[in-house]
Structure 1
């Protein structure tokens, strides 16, 4: 019997370590795999694209916002893994009628370390969790050394079109922007504000406009359209997974960020 507290402060008691897991968060599905939990995962969302083979070996249970409760119930899970941002409070409450729902809340890199530690305790894989935290801590330190002399540059990070939406403050994307010495021109507008593209110069006149590959898959043509509203900003397509996926993906993100900065320096 063990009692643990998740990242929204909910207390959970387990007689045994969970053996049947449903994960409703793509980045956390990838993390669970990296922690050696593949055999325990019985259900994932259609957006859980890493590792690739899961889509043919695991039961697909909808998305992150539309959840087939009966299909999940029939999988007889011991725990369901959710996230405060990805899954609504109503979804979590309904899923709690099936089994314990472990909710993560990742805003900072420190939150990411805590999530991995928590999974180690929850799923009895403390050694693997510690190995991953050690790797991430080393990579973080290395990246901070890489970035230390890079000047602060103003950016806008677009996540959606029609309407245009950007990453604002109090989210993981903004934390990674800050880590990269990027000043988010929309960090005082809320978490994911709608913006008027024709007002981007007045809003902060960024040096770079980042167009994410997800959730909206921006293309080069979108960059041409947006560039009509600014004289100086360079428009760049960026890998949304690297800026918004937490968990083990962060290790690859640090290498990606180094590559991105080398491109921006040219």
Structure 2
């Protein structure tokens, strides 16, 4: 048995390397795919849509917050990979009776890079994980700086509107992109009104594709009130997925920056 410490500081004892893994977090499921764990991942959630091949063929064990404990038990995993925010503590506690549970806790890009390296070590893919971490780091360093700071709000939900606060992974990714989060003084995901956004003097509003699927019609609704604020739709996965999708995020963010600068 080998000992590993997760991002909550908990130590798990694991038969190494694990051969039957259940992943309860979409971005970490995609990471396991990118690390080459095709045969070793036996269970995922219904929200683990990447890669599509796994979404179609791997056994699903419910949602991130509605894990079917019996379905996980049936798969006889020797490792379960979860996340503090995306999964429910009571369910993690129940799953610990089935197999070791390694839990990530991610609020920054540095946390995500640490998670990638740790998961790589956990599944005997240390070299592959190190290469990925270096690639992500280099690509984020190449994102060009904005000519001017843009006061920006990132909306994740509607009815009521909710935004990314300052202690979220989304807010940290915004900062690497040069977007100044006007709600960085708020914790987690505060409710906000369009009138409040107007008072915050936003230059830019980013409407995420997830978890709420904002569309073009929502831009029109917001700009009826915020006539001088630019509002754009963005790919939420590029701001909030903290696994191997981070390899793609810098190119997306650079393209978004160019689009914004050309139209402001």
**TM-score interval for Structure 1 and Structure 2 normalised by the shorter chain:** over 0.9
Number of the residue aligned with 2:164: 167
RMSD: 1.1
Number of the residue aligned with 1:155: 152
1:216 and 2:212 are equivalent in the alignment: yes
Give SS of 1:46's match.
Answer: coil
1:226 and 2:222 are equivalent in the alignment: yes
CA distance in 2, matches of 1:26, 1:15: 24
1:250 and 2:246 are equivalent in the alignment: yes
Number of the residue aligned with 1:51: 51
The 8 Å contact of residues 200 and 229 in structure 1, kept in 2 or not, is answered as no
Number of the residue aligned with 1:78: 78
Task: Map residues 121-136 of structure 1 onto 2, 5 A cutoff.
Answer: 121-136=121-136
Q: Which structure 1 residue ranges, 4+ long, deviate > 2 Å from structure 2?
A: none
Query: 1:97: Cα distance to partner?
Result: 1.2
The 8 Å contact of residues 14 and 79 in structure 2, kept in 1 or not, is answered as no
5+ long unaligned stretches in structure 1: none
Number of the residue aligned with 1:10: 10
Give SS of 1:53's match.
Answer: helix
Task: Map residues 104-123 of structure 1 onto 2, 5 A cutoff.
Answer: 104-123=104-123
CA distance in 2, matches of 1:137, 1:177: 15
Give SS of 1:170's match.
Answer: coil
Give SS of 1:102's match.
Answer: strand
Corresponding residue pairs, total: 262
Give SS of 1:215's match.
Answer: coil
The 8 Å contact of residues 117 and 129 in structure 2, kept in 1 or not, is answered as yes
Give SS of 2:248's match.
Answer: helix
Query: 1:15: Cα distance to partner?
Result: 3.0
CA distance in 2, matches of 1:32, 1:150: 37
